[in-house]
């Protein structure tokens, strides 16, 4: 199961290397409506074509959001920048316990087909470490969404 999930995530992220900008009029209405319904606070949405999917990028409260949606309006991935204060307590505790001396440099909440993960980039004076955590604070075995 873990191998299947990892393969799925890797395959899905490969779409991002082949994107092209789209005007909102070039995006299927079901995809537009799905993103607008889930994120009504998104005022300006930049659209790209990513393989068979459509990628919507926008800001909410100053934080970047990225959505992958198909032509039928089914959202498969959601990526949201987070503040450290928004981390679940279990993830925060795991970082403090296992990465003492590191500072959180970049933090994103990623939802892939209903599963929520927290991508964390940690830095100290010597190196940068990227980890993905499940909400319970365990290190997840999934690829990153770049």
Q: What is the mean pLDDT of residues 109-137?
A: 92
One domain, residues 10 and 71: yes
- Of the candidates 29, 45, 75, which is a domain's last residue? 75
CATH code for the domain in which residue 23 is found: 3.10.450
Band of pLDDT at residue 113, cut at 50, 70 and 90: confident
Residues 35, 28: Cα–Cα separation, whole Å: 11
- Count: domains in the chain: 2
Q: Residue 89 has what pLDDT?
A: 96
146 occurs within a structural domain: no
Band of pLDDT at residue 50, cut at 50, 70 and 90: confident
Residues 68, 16: Cα–Cα separation, whole Å: 10
139 occurs within a structural domain: no
Higher pLDDT, 14 or 36: 36
CB atoms near residue 31 (< 10 Å): 23
One domain, residues 42 and 88: no
Residues 72, 132: Cα–Cα separation, whole Å: 29
59 occurs within a structural domain: yes
61 occurs within a structural domain: yes
- Of the candidates 24, 40, 75, which is a domain's last residue? 75
User: Is pLDDT at 11 greater than 80 in this prediction?
Assistant: no
Reported pTM:
0.76
144 occurs within a structural domain: no
User: Is pLDDT at 25 greater than 90 in this prediction?
Assistant: no
> What tens digit of pLDDT does each residue of 61-105 get?
899 999 999 999 999 999 999 999 999 999 999 999 999 999 999
Q: Strand 63-69: give its sheet, edge to edge.
A: 19-22, 46-50, 53-60, 63-69, 75-81, 103-112, 115-123, 128-134
141 occurs within a structural domain: no
One domain, residues 48 and 93: no
One domain, residues 63 and 111: no
48 is in which domain, residue-wise? 2-75
* 130 and 144 Cβ atoms separated by less than 8 Å: yes
């Amino acid at each position: 199961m873990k191998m299947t999930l990892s393969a799925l995530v890797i395959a899905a992220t490969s779409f991002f290397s082949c994107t092209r900008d789209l005007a909102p009029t070039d995006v299927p209405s079901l995809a537009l409506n799905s993103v607008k319904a889930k994120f009504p606070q998104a005022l300006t949405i930049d659209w790209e074509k990513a393989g068979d999917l459509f990628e919507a990028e926008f800001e909410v409260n100053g934080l970047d959001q990225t959505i992958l949606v198909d032509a039928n309006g089914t959202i498969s991935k959601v990526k949201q920048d987070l503040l450290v204060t928004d981390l679940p307590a279990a993830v925060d505790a795991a970082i403090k316990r296992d990465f003492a001396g590191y500072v959180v440099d970049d933090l994103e909440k990623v939802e892939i087909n209903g599963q929520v993960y927290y991508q964390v980039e940690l830095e100290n004076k010597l190196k940068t470490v990227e980890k993905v955590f499940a909400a319970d604070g365990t290190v997840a075995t999934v690829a990153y969404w770049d």
